[in-house]
Amino acid sequence: MNALPSVEAAVLATVTVTFNPDIPLLKAQLQALPRACVKVIVDNASRPALVTELETVTANVRGVHLLCNDTNTGLAAAINRGVKAVSKLPLPPRFVLLLDQDSEPQPGSVETLISAFQTLETEGQNVGCVGPLLRDPHTGLTHGFHQCTRWRWKRVYPPAGSPAPVPCANLNGSGTLVPVSLFLELGGLDEPLFIDHVDTEWAFRVLARGYGLWGIPSAVFVHRMGEDGRRFWLFGWRVWPARSPRRHYYLYRNAVTLMRRTYVPNVWKLWAVVKMFLTVIITATFGPLRCRQLRNMCAGAWAGLVLRGPVDE
């Protein structure tokens, strides 16, 4: 990778993981990011034609660097590779912004995240990560922020633009702003998890080390959750993500894996079981590919119990 283009760029780098991305969406993301930062794309073995398009994007957008994996190493491993790369730059950035390929920061939102992090530090908070309010483009609804009490795992839905940071029990991985030094100190993301609940495990590890997580409602990112999103009513309109059978395998495998870890809060474990059963009921009643979905859910849960590795298909 080349040296940073300016001293300003040492404040921030971004790492976007791609796998067969929608190129126009990716371009929109890159153009929405601050000009004075290094932008790293880590591609997880996309189709050759798309890799060629990514190379063209890299050549035509200022400050973008492309790292290509020969195989799909998973979300966690790809992010770890990207953060390690930016940490070795001649002017290492203080912060890294972690991004999925289909998230798009709204104007000024990245700068708002950095400012909010620094303000919380000034106020004496031991800040680990901050994250934006995510808005689903299919429904127009926000995903809210996770909080928990002793017995309840819940979402709160502050209005977009609200100035008050929201203490969180978890943050969605896409849009997470974290100091590079903290990321490296905690050993990066858990690579065997591969994809789903990677951000959940990371959040609990950050909290277990005494750092805090905050959601920043004044920073808004458009974010596509799963392969699709559907509205449903449960004491207010909410978004239910639609996922492929393969994603359900990882979701169930990794949820059960996290239930075996002592630093994961018991309240999350309880509500994870509730959500897993609810997902089975909804999928069996309304979902497409019901038999495959249910088989993969069961296989994933069993794999989490016996600590099996990832599947190939």
Predicted local distance difference test score (pLDDT) of residue 3:
38
Residue 201 makes CB contacts below 8 A (sequence gap 6+) with 189, 190, 193, 254, 258, 261, 264
Q: Where residue 2 falls among pLDDT bands split at 50, 70, 90?
A: very low
Report whether 75 contacts 192 (CB < 8 A): no
Task: Give dist(CA 76, CA 20) in Å, integer.
Answer: 17
Is residue 231 domain-resident? no
| Model confidence pLDDT, tens digit, residues 187-216 | 999 999 999 999 999 999 999 999 999 999
Query: 187 lies in which domain range?
Result: 8-223
User: Residue 68's pLDDT is what?
Assistant: 97
Tell whether 291 is covered by a domain. yes
* 154-160 average pLDDT score: 92
Judge whether 2 lies within some domain: no
pLDDT 10s digits, 227-263: 555 555 555 555 556 678 888 999 999 999 999 999 9
pLDDT of residue 120: 98
- Indicate whether 218 pLDDT > 50: yes
- pLDDT at position 163: 93
Let me know: does 172 contact 223? Beta carbons within 8 Å.
yes
Q: Is 200 a domain residue?
A: yes
Distance CA 296, CA 306 (A): 15
Q: Do residues 180 and 117 touch, judged by C-beta distance below 8 A? A: no
Cα 307 to Cα 259: distance, rounded to the nearest angstrom:
12
The total of structural domains in the chain comes to 2
Distances (CA, A) of 302 to 54, 139, 256, 257, 299: 38, 34, 8, 10, 5
Verify that 178 and 67 share a domain, yes or no.
yes
Q: Residue 15 — very low, low, confident or very high, per pLDDT cuts 50/70/90?
A: very high
Q: Are residues 135 and 190 in the same domain?
A: yes
Is residue 38, in this structure, part of any structural domain at all?
Answer: yes
Domain CATH number, residue 216? 3.90.550.10
Both 283 and 189 in one domain: the answer is: no
Task: Give the max Cα distance, the chain.
Answer: 56
- Do 250 and 178 lie in one domain? The reply is no
Query: Does residue 228 sit within a domain?
Result: no
Do residues 249 and 165 both lie within one domain?
no
Position 311 in a domain: no
